[in-house]
Structure 1
Amino acid sequence: MTKILVIEDDPILGEMLTLYLEEERFDVRRVETARDGFAALTEFKPDAIILDLMLPDADGSTLCASFRERTAVPIIVTSMKNAVTDRIQAISSGADDYLTKPYSVQELKVRILAVLRRMPAFAPNSFLPAQSGDRITLDVERRTIVLDGKPIETTFSEYEMMKLFTQHPGRVFSREELLNAVRGIDSFVNERAMDVHITNLRKKLEVNPKEPQHIKTVWGVGYKFVK
């Protein structure tokens, strides 16, 4: 049974989410603080996290970043804030999706399924064999990018983006195509967030990020990956 960790301090909303997700056949653990959320990562071992950004003992994008440092599972952020800058900040801090309160629980379920489909344990044919001589390969079991034989830490979205790139070297992807592939067609799409992910990947993978040799910009269209 798929495990969902709900970190929500609003008792009414938290109870509603728990009941609904359990009816949809998820195994749900709900906690009300960041501290209990960190403990549940080890004890409960969730497959995905629903994270409220306004908790009694922590709040904001640093909260999301703290969870991302501790786990690679998908994080869906929920918040009362609906400004584009807030969404970009959360996604740049490691969130894989963003829902503004109030939201539909049915939509939340769709988004949970969308991010889970991009996890190897939930997707068929996820093995990506390395080609001899490639500088950049993927370790699918550990969900890491391997650069010159050394593992590189990435966010969930960065890994999924590189997975798509390495599956289709040379193909040009628009920003919208990349975001849809990473987070699902129903998820929030923002070109600025896409550029942030590309910039971060270049810093991690390129010898000179300002003159990239692998993740190239195709002006007016999007990006492509060159081995």
Structure 2
Amino acid sequence: MTTILVIEDEPVLSETLCYNLERAGFTAEAAYDGISGLDRARQIQPALIILDIMLPGMDGFSLCRTLTRERVVPIILLTALQDESHRIAGLELGAVDYVVKPFSMGELLARVRAILRWNERTRHAPQADVLQAGELRLDRVSRQVWLGYQEIELSFKEFDLLACLMYNSGVALSRDLLLERVWGSEFPGSNRTIDVHIRWLREKLEADPANPSMIHTVRGVGYRFQNPVERTVPQRNGTLG
């Protein structure tokens, strides 16, 4: 049975979440502060984590950063704050979704199911071969990226997004298309996720992120990957890889 870890310091909300998750057919585990949440996540290796931002011991942002560095696990952040900067911060740290309190339990369960389905499809997606553009090399089998002789550490979704862009080098891809290909058609988040991850990729790969030579913004469309050693953009239709 799929295990979901709820890290929430409000006992009533935590119990309500666990109760509804178990009724929906999941195994629910609870932790009430950041430190015990980290320990519990390491022990049980949950399939998904529902994580409150405001926690005693270790705040949700710090915990999210630690968890996503240690292993690939989808995280849904819970918060009473509606500030966009908090949503962006959560996405940048590796969370896949962000839910503002109060929320509909039915909607949250639908998001949980959608994310788990998307995660399962991603895990079993067939891998291709090596993609190369100038000094940038991406191995889709080993899931490693090098820039020259330096290996670049990317998150799971950063890697998939870069692979999609490189596979369709020279083709402008819309945010919605990238979101569907990398996050899945049932992903409940917004295409703002793409902008956040593109910025993160540029910071890791571009010599001058403000004036990128590889990952270009196509105004009114989305993004295009351009091989830096090519002077012209090939005109073709892409097949998403």
TM-score, with length taken from structure 2: 0.77
Q: Decide whether the 8 Å contact of 1:38 with 1:67 is kept in 2.
A: yes
Which residue of structure 2 lines up, in the alignment, with residue 169 of structure 1? 169
Runs of at least 5 residues in structure 2 that lack an aligned partner in the other structure: 228-241
C-alpha distance in 2, partners of 1:118/1:182?
Answer: 9
C-alpha distance in 2, partners of 1:60/1:105?
Answer: 21
CA RMSD of aligned residues (A): 2.9
Tell whether 2:114 aligns with 1:114: yes
Structure 2 letter corresponding to 1:206: E
Which residue of structure 2 lines up, in the alignment, with residue 189 of structure 1? 190
Runs of at least 5 residues in structure 1 that lack an aligned partner in the other structure: none
Q: 1:52: how far off? A: 0.5
Q: Decide whether the 8 Å contact of 1:96 with 1:156 is kept in 2.
A: no
Output aligned runs, 1:85-164, within 5 Å: 85-119=85-119, 123-131=123-131, 135-139=136-140, 145-148=145-148, 151-164=151-164
Q: 1:145: how far off? A: 4.0
Deviations 1:12-40 (A, max 9, x none): 21112112212222232211111111112
Structure 1 letter corresponding to 2:199: T
C-alpha distance in 2, partners of 1:131/1:156?
Answer: 17
Tell whether 2:46 aligns with 1:46: yes
| Residues 27 and 168 (structure 1), Cα distance of their counterparts in 2 relative to 1, 3 Å cut | farther
Q: What is the number of equivalent residue pairs in this alignment?
A: 225
- Identity, in percent, stands at 36
Q: Decide whether the 8 Å contact of 1:76 with 1:98 is kept in 2.
A: yes
Which residue of structure 2 lines up, in the alignment, with residue 55 of structure 1? 55
2:94 is paired with a residue whose SS is coil
Q: 1:186: how far off? A: 6.0
Q: 1:77: how far off? A: 0.3
C-alpha distance in 2, partners of 1:120/1:211?
Answer: 36
C-alpha distance in 2, partners of 1:118/1:189?
Answer: 15
Deviations 1:137-157 (A, max 9, x none): 24456x554545754322344
Q: Decide whether the 8 Å contact of 2:91 with 2:196 is kept in 1.
A: no
